[in-house]
């Protein structure tokens, strides 16, 4: 089995119709450091891609018995990725070192994430890297208001690429940036029209890159700190009053726990929470101070799909509390904190008895 | 699949990372995989008692969940535990339920 470091990273490029996914992909692939990337796309759009390793996907889904949308296997993706891998191994195609999957504008990215984590062949050879969502600065607010898929794409993203800022005014740009930061504070935002972004930073800087993972965690913690600021939260609350907008019910919260967490109790708590509230817990990203572990543990997931935990070599800052950023619909921070604390004290009593 | 009992091996679950010393706790925590499973059963039972359920380890490879009427189900890992618990208890198992939080805080 390939270890975490030798698996081929996969980048999912998502974004609403016409938000500039293909244009972004073309610019990313032009970077010499990312030239050895295989690309799977859902549809040939107006913007042509001229790339050596380009394959087309036909959307075909297999819904698993649970009937949950995020636990859907994309049959087309399984076939395409397995086929690509076998041809790579047989030397029929060059040994690509990265795979980019461009979704359709209306796609929910969660089944793609699930497919890479669940398929027994794929998960042993590939690992998920950053998911990038493109958001159009001009039409983005309308997409977010009217299409739940657009909101979901932003929530699942590890990076947000804001496009078309060159054709809208500063006020519009500031408004959409504030809205995106509220929806997903853990995802750094890049304005691609400015042209001075680092393609590697978008695609390659992730939790599996030993040189960058601490910096990556520091970034989402900075987003979490903004949430913990009471003034910031008060500032956001007026937007939540608009309940007619479905995205108004979605917000990010940062759950903190002062004492070291018991890993066993935490696992029981999070699986129980995600089983009952998985539909309303859209995203989880956290750094944990685990009892008896000298260094922090990072967890991240989309709905009830949690990735294998990652160990950091050192704490990214002076704060030793466990901090978990949740993007939720209709759940509140205080209840989550109380619940986590109650489960953790259960473990403390349990370990004395054991 | 186990040739003797016909049980399909479960997929790795993220919570099982506790058994891998390089990821979580591990050497520092001084627990083997088996000890970790027994501990998970012990803590799990404190919560499941609230729903009239009992969990036990089964051959170090799965868990058995039982209710008071004797109905039982084999579950491979924690993620599969909760849907089974809700089915056997006949009600939702919600960690955010104020009654559950109060009960857990007291038993802690």
- Taking only the tens place, the pLDDT of each residue in A120-156 is 889 889 988 899 999 999 999 999 988 888 898 998 8
- Percent of all residues in chain A with a pLDDT value above 90, rounded to a whole number: 22
Q: Which of A31-45, A92-106, A237-251, B66-80 has the highest mean pLDDT?
A: B66-80
Query: If you measure CA to CA, which chain A residue comes closest to B79?
Result: A271
> Once rounded to an integer, what is the mean pLDDT over residues A72-82?
78
- Percent of all residues in chain A with a pLDDT value above 70, rounded to a whole number: 81
> Once rounded to an integer, what is the mean pLDDT over residues A252-281?
91
Question: In this complex, how many residue pairs, one in chain A and one in chain B, have their CB atoms less than 8 Å apart?
Answer: 127
Structure confidence by residue, pLDDT tens digits, A160-180: 999 998 888 889 999 999 999
Res B59 pLDDT > 80: yes
Res B81 pLDDT > 60: yes
Closest partner residue to B83 (CB to CB) among A275, A307, A309 is A275
Q: Does any CB of chain B come closer than 8 Å to the CB of residue A324?
A: no
Closest partner residue to B40 (CB to CB) among A264, A274, A308 is A264
Res B65 pLDDT > 90: yes
Question: How much is the pLDDT for A103?
Answer: 82
Res A60 pLDDT > 70: no
> Once rounded to an integer, what is the mean pLDDT over residues A179-201?
84
What SS3 string covers chain A? CCCCCCCEEEEEEEECCCCCHHHHHHHHHCCHHHCCEEEEECCCCCCCCCCCCEEECCCCEEECCCCCHHHEEEHHHHHHHHHHHHHHHCCCCCCCCEEEEECCCCCCCHHHHHHHHHCCCHHHHEEEEEEEEEEECCCHHHHHHHCHHHHHHHHHCCEEEEECHHHCCHHHHHHHHHHHHHHCCCCCEEECCCCCCCHHHHHCCCCCCCCCHHHHHHHHHHHHHHHHCHHHHHHHHHHHCCCCCHHHHEEEEEEEECCCECHHHHHHHHHHHHHHHCCCEEEEEEEECECCCCCCEEEEEECCEECCCEECCCCCCCCCCEEEEEEEECCCHHHHHHHHHHHHHHHHHHHHHC
Res A2 pLDDT > 50: no
Res B54 pLDDT > 90: yes
Res A82 pLDDT > 50: yes
Q: Residue A28 — very low, low, confident or very high, per pLDDT cuts 50/70/90?
A: confident
> Once rounded to an integer, what is the mean pLDDT over residues B73-102?
93
How far is B89 from chain A, CA to nearest CA, in Å? 14
Q: Are strands B72-75 and A310-311 parallel, antiparallel or unpaired?
A: unpaired
Q: Which of A73-82, A121-130, A204-213 has the highest mean pLDDT?
A: A121-130
Cβ within 8 Å, pair B47-A267? no
Question: How much is the pLDDT for A146?
Answer: 86
Res A242 pLDDT > 50: no
Cβ within 8 Å, pair A308-B14? yes
> Once rounded to an integer, what is the mean pLDDT over residues A256-265?
91
Residue of A128, A346, A354 to mutate for B, most B C-beta atoms under 10 A: A346
- Provide the chain A residues 7-36 that lie in CB contact (below 8 A) with chain B: none
Q: Residue A340 — very low, low, confident or very high, per pLDDT cuts 50/70/90?
A: very high
Question: How much is the pLDDT for A271?
Answer: 93
Q: Report the distance separating Cα A295 and Cα A292, nearest Å.
A: 9
Closest partner residue to B36 (CB to CB) among A264, A342, A344 is A264
Structure confidence by residue, pLDDT tens digits, A211-224: 777 888 887 777 77
> Once rounded to an integer, what is the mean pLDDT over residues B77-106?
92
- Provide the chain A residues 111-150 that lie in CB contact (below 8 A) with chain B: 118, 120
Q: Residue B1 — very low, low, confident or very high, per pLDDT cuts 50/70/90?
A: very low
Q: Report the distance separating Cα A16 and Cα A103, nearest Å.
A: 9
> Once rounded to an integer, what is the mean pLDDT over residues A34-44?
77
B98 compared with A311, residue with greater pLDDT: B98
Q: Does any CB of chain B come closer than 8 Å to the CB of residue A342?
A: yes
Q: Residue A270 — very low, low, confident or very high, per pLDDT cuts 50/70/90?
A: very high
Question: How much is the pLDDT for A64?
Answer: 46
Cβ within 8 Å, pair B24-A335? no
Question: How much is the pLDDT for A274?
Answer: 92
Tokens 């995020």, residue located: A70
Residues in chain B: 108
The mean pLDDT of chain B is 81
Catalogue the long-range contacts made by B52-56 (C-beta closer than 8 Å, 24 or more residues apart): B52/B89, B53/B85, B53/B88, B53/B89, B55/B81
B22 compared with A192, residue with greater pLDDT: A192
Res A352 pLDDT > 60: no
Question: How much is the pLDDT for A116?
Answer: 85
How far is A34 from chain B, CA to nearest CA, in Å? 30
Chain A residues whose CB is inside 8 A of the B15 CB are 267-268, 271
Residues in chain A: 354
> Once rounded to an integer, what is the mean pLDDT over residues A291-314?
84
> Once rounded to an integer, what is the mean pLDDT over residues B27-39?
73
> Once rounded to an integer, what is the mean pLDDT over residues B55-68?
92
Q: Report the distance separating Cα B88 and Cα A217, nearest Å.
A: 40
Res A237 pLDDT > 50: no
pTM: 0.80
Cβ within 8 Å, pair A268-B44? yes
The mean pLDDT of chain A is 80
């Amino acid at each position: 089995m390939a270890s975490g470091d030798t698996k081929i990273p996969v980048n999912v490029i998502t974004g609403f119709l016409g938000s500039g996914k293909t244009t972004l992909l073309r610019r990313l692939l032009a970077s010499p450091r990312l030239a050895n990337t295989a690309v799977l796309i859902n549809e040939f759009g107006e913007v042509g891609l001229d790339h050596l390793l380009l394959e087309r996907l036909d959307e075909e889904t297999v819904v698993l018995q649970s009937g949950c949308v995020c636990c859907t296997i994309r049959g087309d993706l399984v076939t395409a990725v397995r086929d690509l891998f076998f041809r790579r191994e047989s030397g029929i195609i060059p040994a690509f070192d990265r795979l980019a999957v461009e979704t359709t504008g209306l796609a929910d990215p969660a089944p793609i994430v699930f497919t890479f984590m669940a398929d027994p062949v794929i998960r042993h050879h590939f690992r998920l890297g950053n998911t990038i969502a493109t958001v159009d600065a001009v039409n983005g607010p309308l997409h977010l208001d009217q299409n739940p898929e657009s909101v979901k794409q932003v929530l699942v993203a590890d990076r947000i690429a804001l496009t078309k800022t060159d054709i809208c005014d500063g006020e519009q740009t500031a408004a959409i940036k504030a809205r995106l930061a509220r929806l997903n504070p853990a995802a750094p935002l890049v304005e691609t029209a400015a042209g001075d972004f680092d393609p590697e930073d978008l695609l390659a800087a992730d939790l599996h890159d030993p040189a960058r993972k601490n910096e990556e965690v520091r970034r989402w913690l900075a987003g979490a700190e903004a949430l913990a600021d009471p003034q910031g939260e008060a500032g956001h609350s007026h937007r939540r009053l608009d309940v007619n907008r479905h995205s108004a019910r979605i917000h990010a919260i940062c759950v903190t726990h002062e004492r070291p967490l018991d890993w066993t109790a935490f696992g029981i708590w999070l699986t129980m929470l995600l089983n009952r509230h998985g539909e309303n817990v859209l995203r989880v990203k956290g750094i944990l101070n685990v009892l008896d572990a000298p260094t922090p543990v990072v967890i991240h997931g989309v709905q009830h799909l949690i990735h294998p935990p990652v160990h950091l070599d050192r704490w990214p800052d002076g704060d030793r509390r466990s901090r978990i950023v949740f993007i939720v619909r209709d759940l509140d921070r205080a209840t989550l904190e109380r619940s986590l604390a109650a489960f953790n004290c259960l473990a403390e009593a349990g370990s004395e008895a054991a | 699949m186990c040739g003797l009992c016909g049980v399909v091996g479960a997929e790795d679950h993220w919570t099982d990372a506790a058994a891998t010393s390089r990821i979580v706790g591990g050497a520092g925590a001084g627990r083997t995989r088996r000890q970790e499973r027994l501990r998970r059963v012990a803590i799990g039972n404190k919560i499941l008692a609230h729903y009239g359920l009992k969990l036990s380890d089964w051959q170090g490879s799965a868990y058995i969940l039982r209710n008071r009427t004797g109905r039982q189900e084999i579950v491979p890992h924690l993620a599969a535990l909760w849907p089974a618990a809700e089915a056997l208890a006949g009600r939702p198992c919600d960690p955010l339920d104020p009654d559950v939080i109060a009960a857990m805080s007291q038993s802690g």
